[in-house]
Amino acid sequence: MKRTREKTTKYIQQHLPRLLAVMWALWNMATAAAYVDRVPPQLEVVDKATIVPLWIIWAFAAVALALGVLAPSTAPDKVQDVARWLRIGGMMIACAALIVWTVAFFYDEPRGWVTGKNYAVLAAMAAFTTWTIARDTARRERVVAV
């Protein structure tokens, strides 16, 4: 039993950063799909302020995260560094978009705050999980090797 627990713990520590990145990549891709055909009225100002359609922002974050997952934790240091920065970049885009969505929905009266609070929690969770996603293994002490 103890050996199974140790093996499971090791597996989770090794794969958690990539599992979280996959989860966020899928979430970003689903969000991109949700905005392909329609921009809700709460986000029309945001849509007009961006150079690209909103769905491309989410899709770009999803692709960066997915590419960052491809390099295994046993890859050479340079490959791991590129993969790590792709995951960090994807999460930065997702966090920034979630913050913008939070603000946009909070300004939608009278009940926009209900959706805004949900985006605020998602933004906080994205920022929180980025610390783990930026690692090669969940047990690693440093986010970026120097």
Would 53 be classed as within a structural domain? yes
Number of domains in the chain: 1
Q: Could you tell me which residue, 57 or 146, shows the higher pLDDT?
A: 57
Are the C-beta atoms of 19 and 68 separated by less than 8 Å? no
Angle subtended by helix axes 112-133 and 2-35, to nearest 10:
130
Give dist(CA 110, CA 75) in Å, integer.
51
Within-domain flag for 8: no
The radius of gyration of the chain's CA atoms, rounded to the nearest angstrom, is 17
- Give me the domain span that covers residue 111: 16-141
What is the structure's pLDDT at 142?
A: 56
Confidence band, pLDDT 50/70/90 cuts, at residue 145: very low
pLDDT in tens, 37-91: 899 999 999 999 999 999 999 999 999 999 999 987 778 888 888 999 999 999 9
In a domain, residue 11? The reply is no
126 in a structural domain: yes
User: What value does the mean pLDDT of the chain take?
Assistant: 89
Q: Is residue 51 part of a domain?
A: yes
pLDDT, tens digit (0-9, with 9 covering 90-100), for 105-115 = 998 888 899 99
Residue 28's pLDDT band (boundaries 50, 70, 90)? very high
The whole-number average pLDDT for the span 88-98 is 97
pLDDT, mean of residues 88-103: 97
